[in-house]
Structure 1
Amino acid sequence: MLRSIFREGLFEGQVILVSGGGSGIGRSIARELAVLGATVIICGRTLEKLDTVKAEIEADGGKAHSAVCNIRDEERVKQLFAQTLQKCGRLDALVNNAGGQFLSPAEAINVKGWNAVIETNLTGTFFMCKAAHHVWMKEHGGAIVNIVADMWRGFPNMAHTGAARAGVVNLTQTLALEWAHYAIRVNAVAPGLINSSGMSKYPPEVQTLIQQLPRDIPARRMGTEREVAAAVTFLLSPAAAFISGETLKVDGAGSLYRLQGYVIPEHTAWESYE
């Protein structure tokens, strides 16, 4: 059975929606919250994966519901939240974990690829926040945590997701101010290099490179999915009651050190201004 470092029953009676809950970090977040007493709604694009996580949660004695949802479709998002209220009667918190990207230098990203990543990572997050606000949190308060990324010094070979995640950080700050009078706290968690199941989506040569990246992290290792889940759990908990508009980095101090895995090609010196 999954055991948590947090107090047993911390989220007892609460309903928390986790997007992208069918695998990786989202799965870990959902399981952590459920073992602490929350009824967890996990949504994603593949019902089979969602149902597998639902079964894992139930095997640990937790409560979960699964729902297929494309967060890029605002009408489908509205339906998801309406169904959540109908099924569970409340919505205490939202974790926007769903996202996606692909490796590519900026000059090779076409319009379709750019829009797909922006619409999922930025627009989809906005749709989810807006729906949570409208259906429940405007009247009852709540907490939102958005999952972003380590893009503080640019994001070479992932310009699309770097731009989108930076937009989500600003959105987090904006909503924290606009919705403060509704008692809605909005924060973000920025994972660094995490040893997640999502790594398997990359080609073998990229996975080999990834295994070398911990040398550029002061902690000298990758983070774990549960370490990200723990950060999310803290921000949703009463212990973070005075925290809003912040982004918590879970990166082993990597964002303070060398730019992981990226080397600027050799080139002639730029012209100078004399």
Structure 2
Amino acid sequence: MDRSLTPSLISFYIILELDSSNGNLSYKTVPLEAYRSIFKNDLFKGEVILVSGGGTGIGRCIAHELASLGATVVIAARRLEPLKAVQEEIIKLGGVCDTMQINIRDAAMATKLIQDIVEKHGKLSCLVNNAGGQFLSPASMLSANGFATVVDLNLNGTFNMCKAAFDGYMGEHGGRIVNIVADIRNGIPRAMHTGAARAGIINMTKTLAVEWGPYNGIRVNCISPGLIVSSGMKNYDQGVVDWFLKGHWKNPSGRFGTESEIAASVAFLLSPAASYITGVNLEVDGGSSLSRGNLEGDDLVYNPEGSLHPAYVGWPEGAHNVHSIKHVDAPPKVNQLLEKYKKISRSKL
């Protein structure tokens, strides 16, 4: 086995292992030093922030971002093992992190979760609804049960968490909520079920912003990520990853987004800087939603040779160490693609 040690997206080392017999590459992340947000490091000092789905991918990065800004971060999900791993990372890096188990489809469990957080930590300042998921299926082959399952997880689960947070703390004390959805404006093939659920969340967000605003200034917003380089890509088969790669540059930014760019957007919407922003759906997608939404077209509009837009990552040198954008817990083909962004991005910083 050949080994090398390289820095990762959010200030970890990735241990790469190359099997010389078959050429397969495997890797694992090892914490190195604290995540460095672009924001002031005590921005959320004294705040208690709940991040659902905080054990992997974008949720993990959000947890690191908020912990680096002084928050006590509570990460919750169905499986405790990945949560404990992220908790250990954050604590080793000097942050404060707690873990709790939740099935967001269970309203009673969501209510108990909020009660436990308030009892243990004294408050709940913010809620980030990141938990969710789906499988890909053409609508013509989607069963009623499959549709209901995805809607229950994403739409009903988000409602359960929002309602529990309101009843258990925010209705009396105020707070901020950010719902992570998806860029579904133009429709996504094989994702009709999750598209319907996410559209419901966006409308629910706007309605809650109107209804709950008078309750001590509760703010409720959405973030719709575009194509983001994340460990979540490993949940899809190679054909889907290849489909992503084929259209990666077909937006005005000419590239994928990073987990840190979603985490920074969450931090902004939770911060006092966004105190006059509520009920919005912030599309963090490099302008993808402005195009026709057709990955087969737009060849003459955007440049496939490389992005002119530098990427933001939470590396110790901040955005200025663009070399780190290629070190992501994503399929190797995606990391190879990010290597192409490096040279142009450096010249822009």
Q: Do both proteins adopt the same fold according to a TM-score greater than 0.5, normalized to the shorter chain?
A: yes
Between the aligned partners of 2:74 and 2:249, the Cα distance in structure 1 is: 37
CA distances 1:120-164 after superposition (whole Å, capped 9, x unpaired): 110000000001001111111110000011111122210000000
Q: Any unmatched runs of 5+ in structure 2? A: 1-33, 298-349
Q: Once the two structures are aligned, what percentage of the paired residues are identical? A: 54
Aligned match of 1:60? 93
Q: Aligned pair count?
A: 263
Please say if residues 156 and 262 of structure 1, whose CA atoms lie closer than 8 Å, have aligned partners that are also in contact: no
Aligned match of 1:11? 44
Residue 242 (1) aligns with residue 276 (2): yes
Cα 1:129–1:179 shift into 2, 3 Å = same
Between the aligned partners of 1:115 and 1:49, the Cα distance in structure 2 is: 27
Cα 1:262–1:116 shift into 2, 3 Å = farther
Between the aligned partners of 1:230 and 1:260, the Cα distance in structure 2 is: 28
Aligned match of 2:180? 147
> How do 1:1-274 and structure 2 match up within 5 A?
1-182=34-215, 183-261=217-295
1:189 Cα shift?
0.4
Q: Any unmatched runs of 5+ in structure 1? A: 264-274
Between the aligned partners of 2:188 and 2:134, the Cα distance in structure 1 is: 12
The letter for the 2-side match of 1:242 is Y
Stretch of structure 1 that moved more, 251-260 or 143-152: 251-260
CA distances 1:205-229 after superposition (whole Å, capped 9, x unpaired): 2112211121322211100000000
Q: Secondary structure at the match of 1:71?
A: coil
1:261 Cα shift?
3.3
Please say if residues 186 and 292 of structure 2, whose CA atoms lie closer than 8 Å, have aligned partners that are also in contact: no
Between the aligned partners of 1:262 and 1:131, the Cα distance in structure 2 is: 43
Task: Say which structure is richer in helix.
Answer: 1
Please say if residues 72 and 123 of structure 1, whose CA atoms lie closer than 8 Å, have aligned partners that are also in contact: yes
Between the aligned partners of 1:133 and 1:83, the Cα distance in structure 2 is: 14
Q: Secondary structure at the match of 1:67?
A: strand
CA distances 1:101-128 after superposition (whole Å, capped 9, x unpaired): 1111111111221111101110000000
Stretch of structure 1 that moved more, 251-260 or 71-80: 251-260
Aligned match of 1:269? none
Between the aligned partners of 2:134 and 2:171, the Cα distance in structure 1 is: 32
Between the aligned partners of 1:241 and 1:197, the Cα distance in structure 2 is: 32
1:80 Cα shift?
0.8
Between the aligned partners of 1:260 and 1:121, the Cα distance in structure 2 is: 25
Please say if residues 217 and 258 of structure 1, whose CA atoms lie closer than 8 Å, have aligned partners that are also in contact: no
Runs of 4+ in 1 over 4 A off after TM superposition: none
CA distances 1:171-223 after superposition (whole Å, capped 9, x unpaired): 00000000011110000000000011100010112112211121322211100
